[in-house]
Amino acid sequence: MSEIQGPGGPLPTIPDDLTLVQFMLDYQHPSRPPIAQQDAWLIEDATGRRVNVDEVHTRVQALANAFRLRWNIEDNDVICIFSPNHIDYPIAIWAAHRLGATLTTSNPTFTSEELQYQLNMTKANAIIVHPSNLHVALDAARAVGIPAERIILFDVPGVAIGSQTTISEFVGEGMSKPLSFTERRLKPGEARTKLAFLSLSSGTTGKPKAVCIPHISPIANVIMMAHTGNLQTAPMKKRSYRPGDVGMALLPFYHIYGLVVVMHFAIFFGMSMVVIPKFNFTDMLKSIERHRINYIPVVPPIVVLLCKHPDALKYDLSSLRALKSGAAPLSAEAIKQLSERLPKMSIGQSYGMTETCTTVTFPQLDMHIGTPGSAGRLLPGVRAKVMDPDGKLLGYNQPGQLVVWSPANALGYLSNEQATKETFVDGWIYTGDEVIINEQKDVFVVDRIKELLKVRGFQVAPAELEGHLLDHPDVTDVCVVGLPDEYSGEVPLAFIVPTPAAVERIKKDPQEEARTKLSIMKHVADAKVNYKQLAGGVEFVDAIPKNPSGKLLRRFLRERAKELQAAGKLSSSVSSKARL
């Protein structure tokens, strides 16, 4: 079988002579829904401050002017943003793009050494930082030779900032002085090569790589998603995605999901985004209630909390109309639980990567609940192949590696020719994910190919077991890893975060821990073939390590499992002899 094309095409024209800021602020693309007056582009969660399009234009122009006056930012300079979400985060990005600069956005939980790695790799020469991250930023900047005067702070109400300059001070200076720059216009085709972002890959299997993302990539991905949104045939009041809705900007802007899908697509599609700096589940519920939020892009751990956390029943979530989960697989069991708890809300999934400049699939907007277990439907403009390990093309409903082409694909990895050759081949991206695609072009992610367990010659997908385990009443969160085993090669071991109720039972009766673990193992044994059962046992932990996009950091728990095994401390493992 040949390649599979996403339905809903052809796409409208994708401009290749615009920067991202010009596309967002200066250009009316036909896929942008008409809206009489977008009330606000950005809403500050804590204060309720609303920033409309006129203020966005003013602040972007003034900040760009100050960047040139103070820092002499020029074409192809790199600016790092080291901060949680902030209402001026998009303003800073678009101001830098006015000058032709490239942005590299950094995880605000990075240590000084991790930030130094990113600054050195991307050759950033200025940093925009949140006050809470200032000490780390100053330390990293000293180490790489960035002077303190090239660090400015986002303004945070009630937080003292000392002598460091703030964004608002830059904006004030930029407004008070004559324009110091002439914005460069791209030549036809230049948006395909001029870099907008150097975004770090997830780093779940090693050190992060900087993905080279040209301006056309986020522009194309926004158009692909907006075009899909425009294809909705239901009356406006019954649509899942609507211009004029209020969305939640909680997912981190430094990550490609938050950067493109939340910051750019949602605003482009006419939504007002409530900018929330830091995740706290109860505070998130309060924000939904306070701002009457309609649309929440999330990651699977938030879905699990919506299903199981008692606070989810304490707040008015009736405004919610659409949830989109991405960044990691969401099981059919979790979707069923969520739909029972919030039956009026549409639920769908989306799949993408930093390397694809985000979404390859999108929720099935013609369905209230997306196809159970699917990661969404291929977007228009996407071409997909499913390939076996020998490179043979497979057909519908056959599992194999997903290889994709779209107009949003990134260019490759910065200064890493070998990794680029392995992932980017003739414009196609080898995702490293095993998938199944059905005749409706729905994509089902089986698992990361690297993360598949090999049990007695059989492949076992951790994500399948994790989805099933989350349906157990004593399980709050879970990660399944392979435990080395002389007989089977490896066997599944489940690290489980027990529910508060289970923890209380165990505190009252120590024997309850063993009974609970056996109940969890039986839950799998009753539903799965023998080689998928938890022969490695169950270990209780306080938390499952994840990166901020919600992906499980399995390597940490693999190492922990090996350490426990070597020390003879695995409490529930089954011996090889017993399995013979």
The arithmetic mean of pLDDT across residues 309-316, rounded, is 95
* pLDDT, tens digit, 9 for 90 and up, residues 354-374: 999 999 999 999 999 999 889
Kindly tell me if the per-residue pLDDT of 443 is higher than 90: yes
Report the distance separating Cα 275 and Cα 285, nearest Å: 14
In the numeric block, the tokens 């409208």 are attached to: 12
Q: What's the pTM value of the predicted model, to 2 decimals?
A: 0.86
Using alpha carbons, select from 307, 257, 261, 254 the residue that is nearest to residue 278.
254
Report the distance separating Cα 217 and Cα 538, nearest Å: 43
Of 111-120, 221-230, 468-477, 564-573, minimum mean pLDDT range:
564-573
% of the chain beyond a pLDDT of 70: 96
Sheet holding 102-106, edge to edge: 151-153, 126-129, 78-82, 102-106, 195-200, 210-214, 412-413
Report the distance separating Cα 295 and Cα 248, nearest Å: 6
DSSP 238-294: G-SS-TT-EEEE-S-TTSHIIIIIIIIIIHHTT-EEEE--S--HHHHHHHHHHHT--
The identity of residue 334, as a single letter, is A
Structural domains in the chain plus CATH codes: 4-15+215-446 (3.40.50.12780), 52-185 (3.40.50.980), 452-574 (3.30.300.30)
Coil/strand/helix, residue 12: coil
Kindly tell me if the per-residue pLDDT of 271 is higher than 70: yes
Using alpha carbons, select from 280, 372, 278 the residue that is nearest to residue 329.
372
**Under a CB-based contact definition with an 8 Å cutoff, are residues 362 and 232 in contact?**
no
Coil/strand/helix, residue 177: coil
* pLDDT, tens digit, 9 for 90 and up, residues 202-260: 644 556 889 999 999 999 999 999 999 999 999 998 999 999 999 999 999 999 999 99
**pLDDT band per the 50, 70, 90 thresholds, residue 571:** low
Report the distance separating Cα 26 and Cα 523, nearest Å: 56
Report the distance separating Cα 395 and Cα 382, nearest Å: 16
Q: Identify the residue with better confidence: 100 or 559.
A: 100
End-to-end CA distance of the chain: 42
Of 27-31, 279-283, 305-309, 444-448, minimum mean pLDDT range:
444-448
| Average pLDDT score over the chain | 92
Kindly tell me if the per-residue pLDDT of 573 is higher than 70: no
**pLDDT band per the 50, 70, 90 thresholds, residue 503:** very high
**Under a CB-based contact definition with an 8 Å cutoff, are residues 276 and 284 in contact?**
yes
Kindly tell me if the per-residue pLDDT of 550 is higher than 90: no
- Assigned token pair, 549: 């996009």
Of 92-96, 262-266, 409-413, 506-510, minimum mean pLDDT range:
506-510
Kindly tell me if the per-residue pLDDT of 431 is higher than 60: yes
**pLDDT band per the 50, 70, 90 thresholds, residue 39:** confident
- Assigned token pair, 309: 């956390």
71: Cβ–Cβ under 8 A, 6 or more apart, which residues? 125, 126, 150
pLDDT attached to residue 202: 60
Kindly tell me if the per-residue pLDDT of 102 is higher than 70: yes
Eight-state DSSP code of residue 34: P
289: Cβ–Cβ under 8 A, 6 or more apart, which residues? 315, 316, 317, 319
459: Cβ–Cβ under 8 A, 6 or more apart, which residues? 452, 453
**pLDDT band per the 50, 70, 90 thresholds, residue 453:** confident
pLDDT attached to residue 457: 66
The arithmetic mean of pLDDT across residues 270-297, rounded, is 97
Q: Cis omega (within 30 of 0) on the bond before 10?
A: yes
- Assigned token pair, 316: 């008015």
Q: What angle do CA 210, 213, 214 make, to 5 degrees?
A: 145
**pLDDT band per the 50, 70, 90 thresholds, residue 576:** very low
In the numeric block, the tokens 């489980």 are attached to: 496
Sheet holding 295-298, edge to edge: 50-51, 42-44, 272-275, 246-249, 295-298, 322-325, 346-349
**pLDDT band per the 50, 70, 90 thresholds, residue 574:** very low
Q: How far is CA 34 from the centre of its chain?
A: 28
The arithmetic mean of pLDDT across residues 278-286, rounded, is 96
Report the distance separating Cα 545 and Cα 394, nearest Å: 35
The arithmetic mean of pLDDT across residues 265-278, rounded, is 96
Coil/strand/helix, residue 490: strand
% of the chain beyond a pLDDT of 90: 77
Coil/strand/helix, residue 497: strand
* pLDDT, tens digit, 9 for 90 and up, residues 464-475: 899 899 999 999
Q: Identify the residue with better confidence: 312 or 164.
A: 312
The arithmetic mean of pLDDT across residues 15-25, rounded, is 98
